[in-house]
Amino acid sequence: MKEASPAKAYALHLGVIALLFALSFVLLEYHHGLLARIMVLAVFAMGYNMLFGYVGLLSLGHAMFFSAGLYGAGLAVIHLGWSVPAAFAAGLACGALLALVIGLLALRTSGVAFMIVTMMFAQVFYLIILYFAAWTGGDQGLVVPQSGRVLVLGDTSLGLTNPTVRYMSALVLFSIVLLVTLGTVRSRYGRVLVAIRENDERTKMLGYDIFSNKLVAVVVSGTICAASGAAYALLFGYVGSTFASVQYSILPLLWVLLGGAATTLGPLIGTLFMYYVVDITSGYTSAYLLIVGIALILLVLFFPRGILGTIRQRWLGWLP
Amino acid sequence: MTDKNGFFDLSRTGLTRRTALKGLAAGAGLAVAPGFVRYSQAQSSAPIKIGFQSHRTGIGAAYGRWYERTTAAAVKAINEAGGINGRPVEVIIEDDGTDPGRGAEVVGKFATQHKTDIVYGTLFSHVVIGSAPAAGEAKMPYFVVSEGHHVASTKLNRYVLQPGITDVKSQIQAMAPWIAANAGKKVTQIFPDFAFGYDHRDYLPPALKAQGAEVIAQIAIPPTESSFTKYFPQIPAETEVIYHVMVGPAVLTFVKELGEFYGSSRPQLFGFIDSLEATDINSPGLEFLDGSHFWEGSPRYAQPDDSATQKAYRAAVGIDDNGAAVGDPKDVSTAAHMFGCWETLYVVKKAMEDAGYKGPEDRAKLVEATEALTEFAEGPEHPQGPKTFNGKIHQCFGIQNISKVEGGRLNVVHKTKIEDGLYEPEGDYTTQPL
């Protein structure tokens, strides 16, 4: 695989960000709103990709990190009346802390056992949300009040319910995470992660501490997912246990597989693709999940490494 | 700026500047000419678009199917009678998958893509709560048929209204006097350990206490449970009434195991029909329910004293005397809830007519006109019974039915009064800006 020059790689990513920025001015209202949501959830997928794509650890419990951010930020506004930046930071902190604890425990396992352990922890997290329904709203969830969803910057107040502010906030978060991901995977640390994925025994023999490197990856991945959850709560105004259910652990896996695991832009492509397939097909039939399933099978047959992964394999070997 | 490729060259499309100008002038002329008046009238007779957020898939699919049928019947009746403000009603359906995330997207889609006049029809409370912020931000009147107390709790926003079905808090409060007087004073509650169950857990004890009865045990069962035998020893021996609100596929097992536990001598049983909506009461395993009582919003089975409007409503939505689809006895309806769709659409019609509703620019007026409503008389528009509406909490109040399982059907043995379900408002939506 050829390596892109830093300039080429960053130019591509900045180009994507510029395109998303430009789309804000031309998209129809509905697609504008949908793309804001897709960007936030693509961040979730990018967080998942960090662990799955680059370290090769398949987690079935990432909904807990997303919802740690979701509840961390949402409940801070609802119960404590915190400002948007403080609530967002609380969401990040919850996700990072949870990821650290889960990482310390779950990384004692690998392979199928890691999948099961992460799924079990996510289930525990989900049931804890239901158990503390008095604070979390249980399965009904809670509305984050509009009055608390205002970003105050100096003398300026930006309501996160405003579609433009929401789109731009989502874009800023997406851009930061995209560039951080790109920087990470191109760094020495990123290469160590790939080495662990490819052959952890050999990497260990070369003197790298596998456990601590993996642990850092779990924490980074969990924190990025929590950032997505926190943004979701603050931008869209709802926290609910559905987002902690197993379905939301499987979705990022699908998005990443579709877009291309271990590609920096794959999560965005996968999320975008899935969203629009569901959105368009559900307009025609209630059996839209069947069509989604067929689309997934076709993709696996013709794009076995996901959309960007296959493009990289066949045509553009330099894609990061 | 140069235009080397002729992108802006009108001649490439066969147009000259002169013809283009003529076209523009003609267009402007048309707009001010008398002919345009006709066009404007055509606009105003364009359909009223109702966005129906339906649970076509997911856990709420059985309800969604019947909500759609009831909605189609009501819209047909409204259109045959001249529509709303002389305009036909068109329903646009989007599936929310009974998922709050998708629900919010669907509300956004109605607001910005379909550009519907209102959004309507949601049942499951987590979807309502998840969608409410999107409705409030889009300033989109959101008429739900959800039964949950969340609307009346005033925790949502001014654009969310529930004028066609009573809420759980009101239903529980209305049941308490009958339970205390007829079933027993010592009540054990068995409920699912999630939100729907919590409404019952929280509202029943004070309602019974006010009637001189008491809840002596509360048994919460995790939603993932598939066998219930281990919980039954927790039921105190002195229990006179078991109050159960189990939902989902496990309800058949629950009833069967309860039957095995008690045999022929059991306490009184009182349940909410939510457990058995869309389920045949004569299903194998449900024999143990014979002689027990249920709350029903609207009776599933035709009753001897059914009003002419109730009969007409049942015929219109296509349910037979047993509450199943005409021609398919196995397709049992969600009769206790789906009347709310019919009644909500008629409230929307009334409010739109009161507001002189013309289009999306009048959405705020529509909310105010709905808030101004106070009473709905029993009749073709409100076949379930008379109702009052509290505009401050966006919630209606009505009568409830208590039915007894006898001979394989549910017979109404008591109807509550509207006053039985009234409670002090917990807030006031009308103080929020529109």
Closest alpha carbon within chain B to A132: B194
Q: What is the pLDDT of residues A232-270, one digit of tens each?
A: 999 999 999 999 999 999 999 999 999 999 999 999 999
CA distance A175 to A157: 22
**pLDDT tens digits, B324-343:** 999 999 999 999 999 999 99
Q: What tens digit of pLDDT does each residue of B263-294 get? A: 878 899 999 998 788 889 888 888 888 999 99
State the pLDDT at residue B249.
67
- B409/B287 same-domain check: yes
Kindly report which listed range (A49-53, A78-82, B23-27, B189-193) carries the lowest average pLDDT score.
B23-27
Q: What angle do CA A31, A33, A35 make, to 5 degrees?
A: 65
H helical segments located in B267-334: 308-317
B61 or A233: which leads in pLDDT: A233
SS3 call for B244: strand
Round the average pLDDT of chain B to a whole number and report it: 88
Kindly state whether residues B283 and B177 are assigned to the same domain: yes
Is it the case that residue B28 has pLDDT exceeding 80? no
Over residues B392-407, mean pLDDT: 96
Question: B271 and B190 in one domain?
Answer: yes
Would the pLDDT of B36 be above 50? no
- B15 pLDDT band, cuts 50/70/90, is very low
For chain B, how many structural domains are there in total?
2
Question: Within an 8 Å CB–CB cutoff, is residue A161 touching chain B?
Answer: yes
Q: Which residues of B touch A (CB under 8 A)?
A: 56-57, 94-95, 99-101, 104-105, 108-109, 112-113, 125-126, 129-130, 132-134, 136-137, 148, 150, 155-157, 193-195, 198, 222-223
Does residue B332 belong to any structural domain of this protein?
no
pLDDT of residue A64: 97
Check if A242 contacts B (Cβ < 8 Å).
Answer: yes
| Residue numbers of the domain that contains B149 | 46-166+338-393
Comparing CA positions, the residue from B313, B284, B253, B250 lying closest to residue B408 is B284
User: CA of B285, closest CA in chain A: separation in Å?
Assistant: 29
**What is the model's pLDDT at position B237?**
93
In this prediction, residue A3 carries a pLDDT of 67
Q: Enter the ipTM.
A: 0.86
State the pLDDT confidence band at B197, using cuts at 50, 70 and 90: confident
Residue B407 and residue B263 in one domain: yes
Token pair recorded at residue A96: 């990072």
Instruction: Give the orientation angle of helix A266-281 with respect to helix A247-259, to 10 degrees.
Output: 110
Work out the average pLDDT over A171-178. 97
Query: Binning pLDDT at 50, 70 and 90, where does residue B33 land?
Result: very low
Residues B273 and B409 in one domain: yes
Task: Look at residue B39 and tell me whether its pLDDT is greater than 90.
Answer: no
Residues B94 and B177 placed together within one structural domain of the fold: no
- Residues of B within 8 A of A34 (CB-CB) are 105, 108-109
Whether residue A142 and residue B113 make contact (CB cut-off 8 A), yes or no, is no
Q: What is the mean pLDDT of residues B350-359?
A: 96
Q: What is the pLDDT of residue B44?
A: 67
Q: Which of A139, A142, A160, A165 has the most B C-beta neighbours within 10 Å, making it the best mutation to test the interface with B? A: A139
Q: Look at residue A155 in the predicted model and tell me its pLDDT.
A: 85
Model pLDDT for residues B306-320, shown as the tens digit of each residue: 999 999 999 999 999
pTM of the model: 0.86
Residue A2's pLDDT band, with cuts at 50, 70 and 90, is low
Please give the pLDDT value at position B356: 95
Does B219 share its domain with B130?
no
Per-residue tokens: B243 = 């109050």
Residues 287-306 of A with CB under 8 A from B: 288-289
Neighbours of B86 (CB within 10 A): 9
For residue B122, being part of any structural domain is answered with: yes
Are A238 and B155 inside 8 Å of each other by CB? no
Most A-contacting residue of B137, B201, B429 (CB-CB within 10 A), to test interface: B137
Mean pLDDT of A169-173: 97
**Least CB-CB distance to B109: which of A30, A127, A238?**
A30
Residues B218 and B274 in one domain: yes
Cβ separation B133–A33 shorter than 8 A: no
- Picking from A126, A143, A165, A167 by the largest number of B CB atoms within 10 A of its own CB, the best residue to mutate is A143
Average pLDDT over residues B379-406: 96
- Taking the C-alpha atoms of residue B345 and residue B83, their distance in angstroms, rounded to an integer, is 11
Q: Shortest Cα distance from A149 to chain B (angstroms)? A: 11
pLDDT band at B12 (very low <50, low <70, confident <90, very high): very low
pLDDT at B27 over 70: no
Query: Which of A206-210, B116-120, B221-225 comes out lowest in average pLDDT?
Result: B221-225
Stretch A145-152: mean pLDDT? 90
pLDDT band at B172 (very low <50, low <70, confident <90, very high): very high
**Whole-number Å distance between alpha carbons of A90 and A227:** 10
What pLDDT was estimated at residue B148? 86
Residue B295 backbone dihedrals phi, psi, to 5 degrees: -80, 140
B223 vs A contacts (CB less than 8 Å): 130
Burial of B109 (0-12, 13-18, 19+ CB in 10 A): buried
In this prediction, residue B41 has a pLDDT band, given cuts at 50, 70 and 90, of very low
A42-46, A202-206, A299-303, B76-80: segment of lowest average pLDDT: A299-303
Instruction: Please give, rounded to a whole number of angstroms, the shortest distance from the CA of A307 to a CA of chain B.
Output: 24
Q: How far apart are CA B118 and CA B385, in angstroms?
A: 25
Q: Which of A31, A282, A284, A285 to mutate to test the interface with B (most CBs of B within 10 A)?
A: A282
pLDDT tens-digit series, residues A285-303: 888 888 888 888 888 888 8
> Is residue B40 pLDDT above 60, yes or no?
no
Q: Are B365 and B289 in the same domain?
A: no
Residue B188 lies in a domain: yes
Q: What percent of chain B has pLDDT over 90?
A: 71
Q: Nearest Cβ partner of A282 from B95, B104, B125?
A: B95
Percent of chain B residues past pLDDT 70, beyond the cut: 89
Q: Average of pLDDT values for A58-64?
A: 96
Residue B38 pLDDT > 60 = no
Angstrom distance (rounded) from CA B262 to CA B274: 23
Q: What is the mean pLDDT of residues B386-414?
A: 96
Confidence at residue B278, expressed as pLDDT on a 0 to 100 scale: 87
Q: How far, in Å, are B141, B143, B157, B323 from residue B432 at the CA level?
A: 14, 17, 8, 41
pLDDT tens sequence across B122-164: 898 899 999 999 999 999 999 999 988 999 999 999 999 999 9
Same domain, B188 and B248: yes
CATH number, domain at B92? 3.40.50.2300
Instruction: Answer whether residue B253 shows pLDDT above 70.
Output: yes
Which residue does chain B place closest to A275, by CA atoms? B102
Residues from chain B that touch A133, judged by Cβ atoms under 8 A, are 194-195, 198
Q: Which residues contact B239 (CB under 8 A, 6 or more apart)?
A: B184, B186, B187, B188, B216, B217, B267
Question: Is the CB of A260 inside 8 Å of chain B's CB atoms?
Answer: no
pLDDT digits (tens, 9 = 90+) for A84-117: 999 999 999 999 999 999 999 999 998 899 999 9
Task: Judge if B224 and B273 occupy the same domain.
Answer: yes
Q: Is the Cβ pair A238, B129 closer than 8 Å? A: yes
Is residue B314 a part of any domain in this protein? Answer: no
Torsion, Cα B312 B314 B319 B323, to 10 degrees, reads -140
Flag if A138 and B129 touch (Cβ within 8 Å).
no
B161 and B176, same domain (yes or no): no
pLDDT at B24: 44
